[in-house]
A and B are shown apart, each in its own frame.
Chain A
Amino acid sequence: MGEVKRENAAEALLARHGAPRQGSEWAQAARRAARGRVLAMGAAGRRDEYWRYTNPAALNANDAPDVEILKLDETPVFDGVEKLLITFVDGVYAPEHSDDLSGEGLEISTLAEALGADIHWAQDVFGVLESNGQTPVKRPFAALNTATAGQGVVIRATGKVSKPVALRYCREKTTSEALIHHVIRVESGADLTVLENGAGAARLNTVMEVDVAEGGAFHHLRAQGRDHARLATTAIFARLAAESHFKSFTLTVNGKLTRNEVVIDIDGDNTKASVAGASLGDGDFLHDDTIFITHDAVNCESRQVFKKVLKNGATGVFQGKILVQPDAQKTDGYQISQGLLLDEDSNFLAKPELEIYADDVACSHGSTCGAVDENAMFYLMSRGVPRKQAQNMMILAFLDDAIQEIESETLAEDIRARLLGWTERH
C-alpha cells in the first residue's frame, strides 16, 4: 500500500479521536487552533527530518495494537515514597483509585474541570507551550493531543509541596488507546515533584506542559511501562523563567516503540535544566529520545544525559539539540548520549546538534557507542565474579551517569533497583 496523502492521514488521526470535548470558550479555541496545526503540518512521516530513525507508522495506524498486560508480582516503582496518588485506568481518571486532589501548596483539578472553568493561568499554558514548541520542529502527535485529549490533570504549585504528585497509568483493556494532557504551573519559589509510571494503554500519547515561574523548581521522574508490545509517544514542553530549576529523568525498560520528546525554552537568566534518561531494550524495542533545548537568556546551564543498553536487535535513537540564541551569553550546554551494545544485532543511532549564535558560551557534546569493555570484564571475572554478574555490574556502571542526574537519592536508589532487576531478568 502506498503512503496515504499527508492531509488525509492528519484528518484520519483527528477523526479517530472524535470531536473536541466540551469546555469553556478559551479551551475550545485552543483546541480548534491545535486541530488547525495538525491539519497544516500533516501526520508524521518517514521523510520528516526528525522521523528518519523512527517509523511513525504504528503510531499513525488506525487501530491500537493488542498488547498483553504484563502481570508483575514485584513492588511497583515509587511504592515506598509518600505521595499524592492520581490513577488513570486505560487513560481515564479513576477517582476511586486516587487520593483527594488536594495537598499542601497545591491546587489540582482534572483537565475537564479546569478547561470548563476560567482559570487565568491555565489559559496562558494550555496549548500555548505545545504551540510554541512546534517551531522549528513539527510535533504532530503533541498537537493531536492538545486538540483531542479529554483526560489529564491541571496542577498549580504555590509553595513548598510536601510530597510528590504521582501519576499512575494502569491498563485493563488490551487494546486501549489513551491521550492524556497535563498542565502544570510552578509558581515563584514553589518546588514540585511529579512522578509518572505505568504503560497506561496499548498506545499512549501524553503531553505535559510545564510553566516554571521565577525561582521555581520542577522535578520529574518517570518509569515507562514494561509491557513488551506497547507503543508510546510523549512530549514535555517546558518554559523556564529566571533562576528556576527543571529536571526530568525517564527510565524505559521494554516497549515496542517509545518516542519521548522534550522541548525546553529557557527564557530567564541563571536557570538550570537537566534532561536525562536510561533505557534498556531487549529484542523488538525501539526507543527514541528527541530533545530540543533553546537558550534565550544569560548565564543558564542545560544538561542532556542519555544512556541506552541494547541487545538482541534492539534500537536506540537520540536526537538532541542545543540552540543558543544571540543574546544567550554565558550559556553552559552539555550533552552526552551513549549506547552500550550487548551484541552485534543492536543499533544506536545518534544525532547530536548544536546551533550557537552567541559568542561567549561553553557547549560540549559527545556521543559514543560500543560493547562492554573486555579488559574490565576480565578484571572482574579474575576476582571471581561470574560473567553474567560482571556484565550486569558494567551495565549499571554505564547507566549511572544518567541516574546521577536525579535530585533525590531515595528515588535514584529506587531506579537503580529497577535496573538491577532488569539485568537479572535478561
Chain B
Amino acid sequence: MFEIKNLKASLADEDKQILKGMNLKVGPGEVHAIMGPNGSGKSTTSYVAAGKGGYVVDEGEVLLNGENLLDMEPDERAAAGLFLAFQYPVEIPGVGNMTFLRTAVNSQRKMRGEEELNAAQFLKLVREKAKSLKIDADMLKRPVNVGFSGGEKKRNEILQMAMLEPKMCILDETDSGLDVDAMKLVSEGVNALRDGKRSFLVITHYQRLLDHIKPDVVHIMADGRIIKTGGPELALEVEHNGYADLLNEVA
C-alpha cells in the first residue's frame, strides 16, 4: 500500500541530511502513528512524501500502490491518492475556499480520467461533508484559510480530505493548536473516513490524539530514522517516560 524505503533526504539550501534511511510500511486500512522528539524528521518525512520544494532526495523511494511518488509533481501525487493535512495550513488571500476545493476535486478527477463534478453535484457534496465537520457556509465562501482560527483551519483540512477521498492520508501534527473539543471534532472527521481500505499516517507529539484516532502501529522516530516500532502501548510508554530511555536503548 504505502511504503517508505531507505529514504535519505537533505535540505536543498544547506548541506544537511535530515532523513537518514527511513523505512516504513503501512498496509491497507491501517493507522500508523509516528512520534519522536523535535527535529527528528517527522514533518520532513511528510513534506518529502508530498513533494514540497527545498528538499533533495539523496536515496530511496516512497511508494503508493507500487508507484514511486518521488518521480511525480505534487499534484500528480495527490491524484495518485496521497493527502497531506498540513501542520500549518496556508492562507491564500483572494482565492475562495469553494473555488479552490472544486478546482482541486475536478483536477484530480480529470487526471484520473474520471468525469468532473458539475456545480450542483459539487455543492451538494460539500454541504453534506461540511455539516458533519461543523463548517458553516460563511467559511466556505471566505478566502482559503484567511481569518480562520486554528481549529477552523484544521477542520478545513479534514473537509478537503473528505472531499478528495485519498487512499493514503498523512496528518502532520493535526492536534497542534487544537482545544479538547476541536480535537474531538477533527478526530471524528478522520475516523469517519476509516473504511478498512484507506490508510493513515498520524504524526504527533502527544499520546492524547491517539486516544481519539486509535493507531494499529506506533513508530518512534529519532535522528532521521525509525528507531522502534510497536503497538499502541508504545505511545503510552513515551507519554509516561519521555524519549530518553528509548534513545539510550538504541544508542
Known contacts A374-B53, A397-B92, A397-B94; is-contact A381 B74 (Cβ 8 Å):
yes
A177 to B56, CA, bound (A): 56
Known contacts A386-B107, A393-B95, A398-B94; is-contact A378 B100 (Cβ 8 Å):
no
A140 to B90, CA, bound (A): 48
A356 to B77, CA, bound (A): 55
Q: Contacts of A397 on B, CB cut-off 8 Å?
A: 92-95, 143
A309 to B145, CA, bound (A): 24
A393 to B95, CA, bound (A): 7
The interface bits of chain B over 22-33 (1 if a CB of A lies within 8 angstroms of the residue's CB, else 0) are 000000000000
Query: CB distance B100 to A383 under 8 Å?
Result: yes
Q: How far is the CB of B48 from chain A (nearest CB, A)?
A: 12
Flag whether A41 is at the interface (Cβ < 8 A). no
Flag whether A376 is at the interface (Cβ < 8 A). yes
A397 and chain B: residue at smallest CB distance? B94
Query: CB distance A387 to B103 under 8 Å?
Result: no
CB-based A-B contact count at 8 angstroms: 81
Query: CB distance B78 to A382 under 8 Å?
Result: yes
Query: CB distance A384 to B75 under 8 Å?
Result: yes
The interface bits of chain A over 375-400 (1 if a CB of B lies within 8 angstroms of the residue's CB, else 0) are 11011111111110110011011101
A383 and chain B: residue at smallest CB distance? B104
A393 to B107, CA, bound (A): 13
| Count of chain B residues with a beta carbon within 8 Å of a chain A beta carbon | 32
Flag whether B224 is at the interface (Cβ < 8 A). no
Known contacts A383-B160, A384-B78, A384-B111; is-contact A376 B92 (Cβ 8 Å):
yes
Query: CB distance A378 to B74 under 8 Å?
Result: yes
- Give the residues from 97 to 118 in chain B that come closer than 8 angstroms, CB to CB, to chain A: 99-101, 103-105, 107-108, 111
Contact with A384, one of B92, B93, B94, B107 (Cβ below 8 angstroms): B107
Q: Contacts of B164 on A, CB cut-off 8 Å?
A: 383-384
Flag whether B84 is at the interface (Cβ < 8 A). yes
Contact with A379, one of B73, B89, B108 (Cβ below 8 angstroms): B89
A380 to B160, CA, bound (A): 11
A375 to B51, CA, bound (A): 12
Flag whether A401 is at the interface (Cβ < 8 A). yes
Q: How far is the CB of A417 from chain B (nearest CB, A)?
A: 14
Known contacts A389-B103, A397-B94; is-contact A381 B78 (Cβ 8 Å):
yes
Q: Contacts of B104 on A, CB cut-off 8 Å?
A: 380, 383-385
Flag whether B243 is at the interface (Cβ < 8 A). no
Q: Contacts of A384 on B, CB cut-off 8 Å?
A: 75, 78-79, 104-105, 107-108, 111, 164
B88 and chain A: residue at smallest CB distance? A375
Describe A's contact surface by its main secondary structure: helix
A351 to B105, CA, bound (A): 42
Flag whether B52 is at the interface (Cβ < 8 A). yes
Q: How far is the CB of B128 from chain A (nearest CB, A)?
A: 19
Flag whether B64 is at the interface (Cβ < 8 A). no
B144 and chain A: residue at smallest CB distance? A379
Most buried by B among A382, A387, A390, A401: A382
Q: Contacts of B99 on A, CB cut-off 8 Å?
A: 393
B91 and chain A: residue at smallest CB distance? A376
Flag whether B148 is at the interface (Cβ < 8 A). no
Known contacts A380-B100, A393-B100; is-contact A385 B90 (Cβ 8 Å):
no
A394 to B92, CA, bound (A): 8
Flag whether B206 is at the interface (Cβ < 8 A). no
A380 to B99, CA, bound (A): 11
Q: Contacts of B101 on A, CB cut-off 8 Å?
A: 383
A221 to B104, CA, bound (A): 33
- Give the residues from 7 to 32 in chain A that come closer than 8 angstroms, CB to CB, to chain B: none
Q: How far is the CB of B119 from chain A (nearest CB, A)?
A: 16
Known: A386-B111, A394-B92, A401-B94. 9 other contacts (CB 8 A): A376-B92, A378-B52, A383-B78, A383-B100, A383-B104, A384-B75, A384-B107, A396-B94, A397-B93
Q: List 23 A-B contacts (CB under 8 A).
A: A376-B90, A378-B51, A379-B90, A381-B51, A381-B73, A381-B74, A381-B78, A382-B50, A382-B52, A382-B78, A382-B83, A383-B101, A384-B105, A384-B107, A384-B108, A385-B103, A389-B103, A393-B92, A393-B95, A393-B99, A393-B100, A396-B95, A401-B94
Interface, chain B (partner A; CB < 8 A) = 50-53, 73-75, 77-79, 83-84, 86, 89-90, 92-95, 99-101, 103-105, 107-108, 111, 143-144, 160, 164
